[in-house]
Amino acid sequence: DIQMTQSPSSLSASVGDRVTITCRASQGISNFLAWYQQKPGKVPKLLIYAASTLQSGVPSRFSGSGSGTDFTLTISSLQPEDVATYYCQKYDSAPPTFGQGTKVEIK
Amino acid sequence: QVQLQESGPGLVKPSQTLSLTCTVSGGSISSGDHYWSWIRQPPGKGLEWIGYIYYSGSTYYNPSLKSRLSISLDTSRNQFSLRLSSVTAADTAVYYCARGKKVQLWSAIFDNWGQGTLVTVSS
């Protein structure tokens, strides 16, 4: 099975900072990559699919890029409400696999 | 607006069977555009996909759970269910049901989630 590895595992940044999270697949998955946001104590929420397509209602400060094995999620200007754990998920084929998560905190 | 709601016991004894039901409202479980899914999250840990069921009754399970797992659906009640046998403490987790938007065969993005229910395995 294809493994998904995120880095870093956690990060701390200031409000207004640009934040980048990386997700790497152990084999190529084209652009079959989604990102989810899980705020503390809440349900995961779909942010981005097809590597770079924003789900309806997601703020434009979130963006995604990449194809093949390497992907990034970028928050252009970190806001207090962005404190959460972010997960990537590959869906090129079953089983769908999540990355281990990246916890984003405010410095 | 589709809503999903998990229900079932919050405490299960080791070696017994964990059973949960997801009730879907605001949309039909018979939609050919979706895979109905179970996903779990152990306390303080990441997300693990458990399995899919399609409106036809076809299923696809996580290979690591396949020998203990059964997912079924009841279209008359707009529900789908999870049964996981021979549970251990390692099966303690928040269990989510989720709607998977079908992308291709057995491939989906999870665009709608239930609130989740904590199931603890303990004697």
- The model's pLDDT over A63-89, given as tens digits with 9 standing for 90+, comes to 999 999 999 999 999 999 999 999 999
Residue A28: per-residue pLDDT: 97
**Chain A interface includes B108 (CB < 8 A):** yes
Closest CA to A85 of A10, A13, A24, A15: A10
Instruction: Provide the mean pLDDT of chain B.
Output: 97
Is the pLDDT score of B76 beyond 90? yes
Residue B121: per-residue pLDDT: 98
- Residue B17 structure tokens: 């069977």
pLDDT for A12-26, tens place per residue?
Answer: 999 999 999 999 999
Convert B81-92 to b/e letters by CB count within 10 Å (16 or more is b). bbebeebeeebb
Size of interface A-B (CB pairs under 8 A): 56
State how far residue B51 is from chain A, nearest Cα, in angstroms: 8
Instruction: Name the residue facing B107 among A46, A92, A98 (closest C-beta).
Output: A92
Helix (H, G, I), strand (E, B) or coil at A65: strand
List the Cα angle A58/A62/A68 in 5-degree steps. Answer: 110
Using the Cα atoms of residue A97, residue B12, residue B10 and residue B7 in order, give the sign of their dihedral. positive
Arithmetic mean of pLDDT, B28-45: 96
Asked if A32 and B96 come within 8 Å (Cβ–Cβ), the reply is: no
Convert B36-64 to b/e letters by CB count within 10 Å (16 or more is b). bbbbbbeeeeebbbbbbbbbeeebbbbee
* A103 C-beta neighbours (distance < 10 Å), count: 15
Convert A48-66 to b/e letters by CB count within 10 Å (16 or more is b). bbbbbebbeebeeebbbeb
Arithmetic mean of pLDDT, A43-48: 98
**Chain B interface includes A40 (CB < 8 A):** no
Residue B31: per-residue pLDDT: 83
* B93 C-beta neighbours (distance < 10 Å), count: 22
